[in-house]
Amino acid sequence: MGLVGFGFGLLADRRPFGNELFVHPFVLFVILVGLSLLALRVLMVRPESKVISNRTLLAGCALGLAMFLGGNLAAAWIFLIS
């Protein structure tokens, strides 16, 4: 989640998919995480809370958000340097 969040954060300022709300990189990141959890549930044939603890899932979401903001900050610094 952290690596993907950082990647989406790097793209956030450029808005490569358009200026609509549903194609903002953060919204797409959240949708991707949700679809990944649904796929995990279908593949494991049991609830994801039995595979990943709730505390670990919450920590992963917080890490993804923090890395998204870090990627956005890194993109801003790269823009300022160049």
pLDDT band per the 50, 70, 90 thresholds, residue 17: confident
Asked if 12 and 26 count as a contact pair (C-beta separation under 8 A), the reply is yes
Whether residue 48 is predicted with pLDDT greater than 90 in this model: the reply is no
Q: How many CB atoms lie within 10 A of CB 8?
A: 22
pLDDT band per the 50, 70, 90 thresholds, residue 47: confident
Domain ranges of the chain: 2-81
